Amino acid sequence: MSIPYSASGAVPLRHKLGQADTGPRISSIETFATPLVGFVRVTTEDGVQGWGQVSTYNSDISCEILHRQVAPWALGRGVDALEEVIADIPLREHKYPGTFLRRAMAGLDTAVWDWRGQVAGQPVAALLGGSAGPLRAYASSMRRDISPQDEATRLQALRDAHGFDAFKVRIGAECGRDVDEWPGRTEQIIPTIRHAMGEPHCANLSLVTLFTMHVLRALPNAGKYLEFSIEGDDYYPWQRELFVTDPYKITDGQAHVSDAPGWGVQVAPEWLAKSAYRCSTFEG
Q: What is the pLDDT of residue 199?
A: 63
User: What CATH architecture does domain 26-121+268-281 belong to?
Assistant: 2-Layer Sandwich (3.30)
Q: Where in the chain is the domain with CATH 3.30.390.10?
A: 26-121+268-281
How far apart, in whole angstroms, are the C-alpha atoms of residue 253 and residue 149?
22
SS (H, E, C) the chain: CCCCCCCCCCCCCCCCCCCCCCCCEEEEEEEEECCCCEEEEEEECCCCEEEEECCCCCHHHHHHHHHHHHHHHHCCCEHHHHHHHHHHHHHHCCCCCCHHHHHHHHHHHHHHHHHHHHHHCCEHHHHCCCCCEEEEEEEECCCCCCCHHHHHHHHHHHHHHHCCCCEECCCCCCCCCCCCCCCCHHHHHHHHHHHHHCCCCCCCCCHHHHHHHHHHHHCCCCCCCEEEECCCCCCCHHHCCCECCCCCCCECCEEEECCCCECCCCECHHHHHCCEEEEEECCC
Dihedral pair phi/psi, residue 260, rounded to 5°: -65, 155
Q: What is the pLDDT of residue 8?
A: 60
Dihedral pair phi/psi, residue 6, rounded to 5°: -135, 130
Phi-psi group of 111: left, alpha or beta (phi > 0 → left; psi -120 to 50 → alpha; rest → beta): alpha
How far apart, in whole angstroms, are the C-alpha atoms of residue 136 and residue 7?
43
Q: Is the pTM higher than 0.75? A: yes
Neighbours of 99 (CB within 10 A): 11
Q: Where in the chain is the domain with CATH 3.20.20.120?
A: 127-257
**What's at 56, amino acid-wise?**
T
Q: Could you read off the pLDDT tens digit of each residue along the chain, which spans 284 residues?
A: 344 555 565 555 554 678 889 999 999 999 999 999 999 999 999 999 999 999 999 999 999 999 999 999 999 999 999 999 999 999 999 999 999 999 999 999 999 999 999 999 999 999 999 999 999 999 999 999 999 999 999 999 999 999 998 899 999 999 888 899 999 999 999 999 989 987 654 456 678 889 999 999 999 998 889 999 988 888 888 888 999 999 999 999 999 999 999 999 999 999 999 999 999 999 87
Fold of the 127-257 domain: TIM Barrel (3.20.20)
Neighbours of 43 (CB within 10 A): 20
How far apart, in whole angstroms, are the C-alpha atoms of residue 26 and residue 77?
6
Give 280's strand partners.
29
End-to-end CA distance of the chain: 12
How far apart, in whole angstroms, are the C-alpha atoms of residue 271 and residue 176?
36
Q: What is the pLDDT of residue 201?
A: 46
